[in-house]
């Protein structure tokens, strides 16, 4: 937290102090591209078993730091543990992505029993305490959750989607009842993130991976407003814990998120133009981003040139180097090593 910020460069950047070298971490830095992850996952049996086994989850969270010495260690878990803790059936079929028991708009909403919900998630809090016990003192511990809109889409569609037809028709045709689902997710996600902070998270990131399929009024109502409300409640209890928002794909509406009084930092997807971001966003929020994860698949000079372009554009002010989306499973670990060495050595 704040008293330790001096020794944690990533946390200092998020608190608004420019850092040299530029602190970095990568979305989905733990995962299938690492052989040591695949080994532990096989030992655990399934991805969900791994999430709920604190000893193994601590180890998986730290695996990327041992290789690349990033400035941040992100909790190993998943955004869909929130519906799971509400009693929604969840499974991850090999190669098919998540599958949930789909919520129909005529169904009653899951009932929120706070004690039961937090008890279900207690292994996650134990993982965070474990990470704190073993992570390097300079590493910032990052908690996270999905934003209400993104989590709602998985609940309503029963998994991933191409067109979000069910979620959109519910939200557009019956906004009052859709609001009840979003409100449930605001309450549960806030409690989940506050408990992560209690267990040692220095900062939290809210992933709105599917914000970009909404526009204007719907984007404000279903993405910006719920994220801002969660951040407001966190700020009320923990004024010094920065909240990072990742509204992927929202284009020029990134400016709404950057100007929001409750959001401390915004994570940029790879389509955001750097000059525009420097001018229109950076005066209002700490920026994080935004190398296209496909550069990490191809590697080489093209990857480093692109990373340098990002650093040149945004590193004069408080900035955190990251990707524009998560590392993909095809990524050669050597490319992550080359990028990390480059960022750590880079000076203006
Ligand atoms: O960043 C990290 O290293 C921490 C862990 C983390 C995972 N998921 C682990 C995971 C984080 C931060 C997430 C976030 C997440 N999960 C998001 C938001 C970010 C994004 O990618 O847009 C979303 C939409 C999900 C939901 C989810 N979980 C999907 C769609 C999938 C299947 C597709 C895929 O990428 O594998 C998962 C599974 C998942 N979550 C895996 C991991 C390591 C792979 C599980 C396995 O080992 O097979």
pLDDT digits (tens, 9 = 90+) for 41-73: 999 999 999 999 999 999 999 999 999 999 999
Residue 205: asked if its preceding bond is cis (omega within 30°), the reply is: no
Helix (H, G, I), strand (E, B) or coil at 163: coil
Asked if the structure places residue 345 within a domain, the reply is no
Asked if the structure places residue 300 within a domain, the reply is no
- Token pair belonging to 20: 């040299």
Pocket perturbation via mutation, ligand 1, pick of 25, 27, 28 by most ligand atoms within 8 A of CB: 28
Asked if the structure places residue 98 within a domain, the reply is yes
| 209 Cβ below 6 A of ligand 1 | yes
Active site residues: 28, 32, 41, 78, 154
The whole-number average pLDDT for the span 24-35 is 98
Range of the domain at 48: 25-289
CATH number at residue 281: 3.20.20.210
> Which pLDDT value is given to residue 96?
85
Domains in the chain: how many in total?
A: 1
> Which pLDDT value is given to residue 1?
45
Q: Contact at 8 Å (CB) between 70 and 135?
A: no
| 78 Cβ below 6 A of ligand 1 | yes
> Which pLDDT value is given to residue 2?
44
What is the rounded distance in angstroms from the CA atom of residue 4 to the CA atom of residue 68?
22
- pTM of this prediction? 0.97
Res 4 pLDDT > 70: no
Mean pLDDT taken over the chain: 97
The whole-number average pLDDT for the span 286-299 is 98
> Which pLDDT value is given to residue 6?
61
């Amino acid at each position: 937290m704040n008293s330790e910020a001096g020794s944690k460069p990533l946390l200092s950047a998020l608190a608004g102090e420019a850092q040299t070298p530029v602190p970095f971490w990568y979305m989905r830095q733990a995962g299938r591209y690492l052989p040591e992850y695949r080994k532990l996952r096989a030992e655990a049996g399934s991805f969900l078993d791994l999430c709920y086994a604190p000893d193994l989850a601590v180890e998986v969270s730290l695996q990327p730091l041992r290789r690349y010495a990033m400035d941040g260690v992100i909790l190993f878990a998943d955004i869909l543990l929130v519906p799971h803790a509400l009693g929604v059936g969840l499974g991850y079929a090999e190669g098919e992505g998540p599958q949930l028991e789909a919520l129909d708009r005529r169904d009653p909403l899951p009932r929120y029993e706070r004690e039961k919900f937090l008890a279900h998630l207690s292994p996650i809090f134990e993982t965070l305490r474990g990470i704190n016990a073993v992570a390097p003192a300079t590493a910032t511990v990052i908690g996270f959750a999905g934003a209400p809109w993104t989590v709602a889409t998985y609940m309503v569609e029963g998994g991933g989607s191409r067109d979000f037809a069910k979620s959109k028709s519910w939200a557009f045709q019956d906004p009052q009842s859709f609001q009840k689902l979003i409100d449930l997710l605001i309450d549960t996600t806030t409690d989940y993130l506050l408990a992560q902070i209690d267990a040692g998270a220095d900062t939290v990131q809210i992933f709105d991976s599917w914000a970009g399929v909404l526009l204007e009024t719907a984007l404000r109502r279903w993405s910006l407003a719920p994220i801002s409300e969660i951040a407001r409640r966190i700020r009320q209890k923990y004024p010094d814990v920065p909240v990072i928002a990742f509204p992927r794909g929202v284009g020029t509406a990134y400016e709404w998120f950057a100007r929001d009084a409750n959001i401390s930092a915004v994570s940029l997807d790879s389509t955001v133009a750097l000059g525009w971001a420097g001018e229109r966003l950076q005066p209002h929020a700490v920026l994080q981003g935004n190398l296209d994860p496909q550069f990490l698949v191809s590697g080489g000079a093209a990857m480093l040139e692109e990373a340098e372009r990002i650093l040149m554009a945004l590193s004069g002010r408080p900035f955190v180097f990251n990707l524009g989306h998560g590392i993909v499973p095809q990524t050669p670990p050597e490319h992550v090593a080359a990028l990390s060495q480059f960022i750590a050595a880079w000076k203006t």
